[in-house]
Amino acid sequence: MAGVVQVSLAALLLLPMASAMHSDCIFKKEQAMCLEKIQRANELMGFNDSSPGCPGMWDNITCWKPAHVGEMVLVSCPELFRIFNPDQDMGVVSRNCTEDGWSEPFPHYFDACGFDEYESETGDQDYYYLSVKALYTVGYSTSLVTLTTAMVILCRFRKLHCTRNFIHMNLFVSFMLRAISVFIKDWILYAEQDSNHCFVSTVECKAVMVFFHYCVVSNYFWLFIEGLYLFTLLVETFFPERRYFYWYTIIGWGTPTVCVTVWATLRLYFDDTGCWDMNDSTALWWVIKGPVVGSIMVNFVLFIGIIVILVQKLQSPDMGGNESSIYLRLARSTLLLIPLFGIHYTVFAFSPENVSKRERLVFELGLGSFQGFVVAVLYCFLNGEVQAEIKRKWRSWKVNRYFAVDFKHRHPSLASSGVNGGTQLSILSKSSSQIRMSGLPADNLAT
């Protein structure tokens, strides 16, 4: 289940990367290092297949260097157990090199390293990660379908074209790209349930990771743009929306481009290992994480500022209504702003990285995958302007269809000659306007 772990960390850009490396990858990495150590030790000690003693070996848990007969080798518990059991004191395991080969480890891994606890926790974690992956797959799929429908509606009706809806459309696109990038990343890296992805290092794989990070960072910045636009709208009475929208576009799509480009360049020159889905270098990771955390902080400040402005406006004498209705409208406005601003990300954004990992996965990755769906429903399907425009188009289509059917039954000869209901409706409109125009002088004379 490396896919779930890595998606949860890289997608949210807030959780620790090194500690989330999948156990298979850690074992593979340790095994590769072990084989190199054994080869160097054999060269230094002059060991070969016919030499007496115990050859170096990897026992699928830890590494044992070559030893002479009668020698006892001590090794610490593997690093993997320290990651999953940070509070447990790790012991030391020993083996004796005898004439018959290596002895059994003492004390056993169960006693020295808590291996039985690790096995039970691993089984629970696999089931847990499968559940989280199923949750975010449903969430991103639902969001993608809903957002696509919302984009078609906003693009189709010209009367809905305004700066506010243009910003909503860019946010919708960023959510769609985020969902698509998650699916592409899972498909490229974790299509097979094995550890082959641990050593994948191709240009295509790294390009997918760059695209993935760009989509996620862009999504955060368009959430920030939504907050900035609404705050500006409330603070300034008159401002050039089109000129502001130009700068909004640069910030929303340009800033992530700069951040991800700098990160990719630094990774290429200083940490070009694997598929770039692991981030062992904290300093390089902050090139992406820093702007994201900064946007969350600023958006939270804007959210508080907007709530203060709404309170002042609702309490003004011009608004009217009793105290309960005022607080009801305030609560409704606050709930509508939370998914638009991404305020729920502040719950774990500044908490210690090792605190509530499971809750963080469910909250930010599982429930966060439905954020696009919630935003599309609130700001498109439940929008009064959108509903009014759809109703107007629906009534217009029903009227055209009625005239088309009625005209076809009454004048089949004209209907067969190519005159349709829309043409008939336009003829009736022109005739009625001419009648009104010709009736004006008579009315004037009558008066």
Confidence of residue 352 (pLDDT cuts 50, 70, 90): low
Query: Looking at the structure, do residues 85 and 137 belong to the same domain, yes or no?
Result: no
Query: Looking at the structure, do residues 229 and 324 belong to the same domain, yes or no?
Result: yes
CATH code for the domain in which residue 51 is found: 4.10.1240.10
Number of domains making up the chain: 2
**In the predicted model, what is the mean pLDDT of the chain?**
75
Could you report the per-residue pLDDT of 165-208, keeping only the tens digit for each? 899 999 999 999 999 999 998 888 776 555 455 666 778 888 99
pLDDT of residue 422: 45
Residue 212 domain-assigned (yes or no): yes
Residue 138 domain-assigned (yes or no): yes
Residue 118 domain-assigned (yes or no): no
Query: Looking at the structure, do residues 310 and 217 belong to the same domain, yes or no?
Result: yes
pLDDT of residue 164: 87
Residue 12 domain-assigned (yes or no): no
Confidence of residue 12 (pLDDT cuts 50, 70, 90): very low
| pLDDT higher than threshold 60 for residue 298 | yes
Average pLDDT of the segment spanning 35-39: 86
pLDDT of residue 18: 34
Of the residues 113, 145, 175, the one at which a domain ends? 113
Could you report the per-residue pLDDT of 239-290, keeping only the tens digit for each? 677 778 889 999 999 999 999 999 999 999 888 877 887 776 778 888 998 8
pLDDT of residue 179: 94
pTM of the model: 0.71
Query: Looking at the structure, do residues 196 and 266 belong to the same domain, yes or no?
Result: yes
Query: Looking at the structure, do residues 191 and 78 belong to the same domain, yes or no?
Result: no
Could you report the per-residue pLDDT of 358-414, keeping only the tens digit for each? 777 777 777 889 989 999 998 899 888 888 888 888 888 777 776 666 555 665 554
Query: Looking at the structure, do residues 130 and 258 belong to the same domain, yes or no?
Result: yes
Query: Looking at the structure, do residues 269 and 350 belong to the same domain, yes or no?
Result: yes
| pLDDT higher than threshold 50 for residue 426 | no
Residue 29 domain-assigned (yes or no): yes
Confidence of residue 429 (pLDDT cuts 50, 70, 90): very low
Query: Looking at the structure, do residues 75 and 147 belong to the same domain, yes or no?
Result: no
Percent of the chain residues topping a pLDDT of 70: 67
Query: Looking at the structure, do residues 157 and 82 belong to the same domain, yes or no?
Result: no
CATH code for the domain in which residue 277 is found: 1.20.1070.10
pLDDT of residue 253: 95
Taking alpha carbons only, the member of 90, 93, 79 closest to residue 114 is 90
pLDDT of residue 191: 62
Residue 68 domain-assigned (yes or no): yes
Query: Looking at the structure, do residues 135 and 242 belong to the same domain, yes or no?
Result: yes
Of the residues 346, 365, 392, the one at which a domain ends? 392
Query: Looking at the structure, do residues 94 and 150 belong to the same domain, yes or no?
Result: no
Of the residues 80, 113, 146, the one at which a domain ends? 113
More confident of the two residues 315 and 171: 171
Residue 423 domain-assigned (yes or no): no
More confident of the two residues 62 and 313: 62
Query: Looking at the structure, do residues 210 and 168 belong to the same domain, yes or no?
Result: yes
Residue 430 domain-assigned (yes or no): no
Could you report the per-residue pLDDT of 216-238, keeping only the tens digit for each? 999 999 999 988 888 888 887 66
Q: Tell me the residue range of the domain where 37 lies.
A: 23-113
